[in-house]
Structure 1
Amino acid sequence: MLRTIAVISKVFIACCTNVFLLEAISRESPGSANLITFSQFALVAFQGLLVNYFKGKPRVIPLTEYAKMVILFFFVSTGNNFALNYNISVPLHVIFKSGSLFANLFLGVILLKRRYSVTKYTSVFLITIGIILCTISSYNEPLHKSKKESEDFLFTWLIGLSIMTVSLFTSAFMGIYQEKLYSKYGKHPQEALFYCHLLPLPGFLLLWSDLSKQIVAFNRSPLMALDFLPFFGHITVPRLWIYLFLNALTQYICVSSVFSLTSEHTSLTVTLVVTLRKFFSLLLSVVYFKNLFTFYHWIGAFLVFFGTLLFIDIHKSVYQLLTGNSFKTKKS
């Protein structure tokens, strides 16, 4: 019980801190998405390299199989962060990514010919309406002084939405491919995590021009003393580099904590924890960074989170908990 509480606490603290730092960096240095993604990949790859090298673990899944998944993963990871460069607010970013259930269900029906219950379709419908409502409300946020500025904002904003939409469906497709890969070779999530972060690193050379500009911008950020580290209080480092390191570190802790939760608990518990975590990240972004969040935003967010809970049949679990009986659907 104590271990479960500890893991859930790590998920909340690490993941919420990660989103907070992501927004802090994006606000102070717009356009830093690629450097953020690279740092996250590099840290996970470095940690995985140490584990795989010193423990001498043999690779189970062939590199040729990983190559396909790595391309998908690289696109999804860079795309999700890169969208923040296109007038996409963090609250909208958090809510939009919750549409993964819709993408998974849609591709499941189209590619795998799966059929789902009415409850699943209803929940995905609610999520879709919620995302559309939040998206439309987010576009109404800025006040422009000229028609040209409005047109430029709309064009940039639509590019951001397009990037997130493609990333959403690519992520769902990657999940299907990963599912087939695991059914063939067995589940090896730690190995997959390592190679999916290590193999794409050379791909960042294609983004070197952008990365070099971001490095210069980070070097010019205000200096910050390392007072929080014993014996290093006299050292000062550009603030954005500290934020970047902490962002990459919390990203790793967040991912590994969710993995630990997945290995010990049901998908219901994991989805519930992750959904609540996203809600707290949303609140933190709205309250601390004072992001405009209208009544329609809240309605949309409610539909998204309620739809997510409905998708994992939370109502059945609550019914069973209160009555001690299993939930039975009435037949018409």
Structure 2
Amino acid sequence: MRKSTKLFFCASGIFISYFFYGIAQEKITRGKFSIDGTTDKFTFSTSLVALQCLANLLIARVGVQLAGKTSSETPSHWYFMLSLTYIGAMTASNKALIFINYPEQVLGKACKPIPVMILGALIGGKRYSLTKYLSVLLIVFGIVVFMLYKTQRSEHTFKANFGIGELLLLISLASDGITGAIQDKMRARANVGGYEMMYHTNFYSTILLLIMVSFGDGLEFISFCSRHPSLYWYVLGFCITSAIGQSFIFECISAFGPLTCALITTTRKFFTILFSVIIFSNKLVTQQWIGVLLVFAGLFADAFFGKKKTPILK
């Protein structure tokens, strides 16, 4: 398969899978589950991520069997470190939804190329063009504009929750950056396939998360689902779309690197925001839409000018 065709294939798979993934995620984490006049709120992020990793592991295992090749050059401790940063990123971003709405979380995660670039340069020894750095600065400015104008909420709620959701997003983004740097090292030093990387990452992640859940909110999560049976379908859809989407992500990382993958996953977030606004009536003020446009102007500037030869910042 030609590289351009494979890139389009991976991008399409990521866009479609994570569109439905986003709907299921918001239904679970932001939905209202009522019984006997009492409304329950979903707060079991660790259990949800554990099921997600288990589904990813099963799909990855099938992919490894079909690929029929493995790399013996990859040290196990790399996968273990990868699983730790992956758990940190996923758990923090899911918990952030308790304090901020979905468009805010999505656009916050649109910063992902920034830590991937910075930590890729510091840890992985990567070098990027001046155009790419300028594009990323435009993205940062758009994020700042968006965050300065919060989605409409009461003053009391704003004061109670301000900073917690953003702090969780920073933890998630830092974890994403370290994950990208480790993946760059793995690509540079070992011939690692996408499904192989996905399998081993989720293998360690699943073990760690199941241990955490058994001593944490596992029983409460089961009890919550028993009280609200409709949640089973959303969780099932969440896990399936995650597993399919992640298989495309790891194939993209294996072939093109974590930064290219981060840019693809970030562009799809614009459409996620639009559909979230339409479907879930999350209202954005004018200044926030300006921030959104600035973010994606930076992304498209990188896509258009990034292929041209520009000076490398050392």
In the aligned structure 1, how far is the partner of 2:252 from the partner of 2:231? 31
Give % identity. 25
In the aligned structure 2, how far is the partner of 1:329 from the partner of 1:283? 33
CA radius of gyration, larger in: 1
Q: Pick one of 199, 203, 217 that aligns with 2:204.
A: 199
Q: Does 1:241 align with 2:232?
A: yes
Shift of 1:247: 0.8
Partner residue, 1:23: 26
In the aligned structure 2, how far is the partner of 1:58 from the partner of 1:114? 26
TM (normalized to structure 1)?
Answer: 0.77
In the aligned structure 2, how far is the partner of 1:278 from the partner of 1:261? 17
Q: Pick one of 263, 288, 291 that aligns with 1:300.
A: 291
In the aligned structure 1, how far is the partner of 2:148 from the partner of 2:212? 34
TM (normalized to structure 2)?
Answer: 0.81
**C-alpha distance 195-265 of structure 1, shift in aligned 2 (>3 A):** closer
Shift of 1:24: 0.8
Q: Pick one of 151, 156, 170 that aligns with 2:159.
A: 151
Shift of 1:159: 2.0
Partner residue, 1:135: 147
In the aligned structure 2, how far is the partner of 1:201 from the partner of 1:266? 24
- Contact 2:116–2:259 at 8 Å: present in 1 too? no
Partner residue, 2:222: 215
Q: Does 1:122 align with 2:138?
A: no
What are the ranges of 5 or more consecutive residues in structure 1 without an aligned counterpart? 222-237, 318-326
**C-alpha distance 74-7 of structure 1, shift in aligned 2 (>3 A):** closer
What whole-Å deviation, never above 9, does each CA across 1:207-263 have from its counterpart, x for those lacking one? 343232222122211xxxxxxxxxxxxxxxx21111101111011112223455667
Shift of 1:49: 3.7
Partner residue, 1:231: none
Q: Figure out how many residues of one structure are paired with residues of the other and give that number.
A: 295
- What is the letter of the counterpart of residue 227 of structure 2? R
Give the secondary structure class of the aligned counterpart of 1:213: helix
What are the ranges of 5 or more consecutive residues in structure 2 without an aligned counterpart? 32-40
Partner residue, 2:51: 39
In the aligned structure 2, how far is the partner of 1:19 from the partner of 1:8? 16
Shift of 1:115: 5.4
Give the secondary structure class of the aligned counterpart of 1:291: coil
Please give the residue correspondences for 1:1-332 in structure 2 after superposition, counting only pairs within 5 Å.
Answer: 9-28=12-31, 29-50=41-62, 60=72, 61-85=74-98, 87-111=99-123, 116-138=128-150, 141-144=152-155, 150-154=158-162, 158-204=163-209, 205-208=211-214, 209-221=216-228, 238-259=229-250, 274-312=265-303, 314-315=304-305
Shift of 1:279: 1.3
In the aligned structure 1, how far is the partner of 2:262 from the partner of 2:67? 32
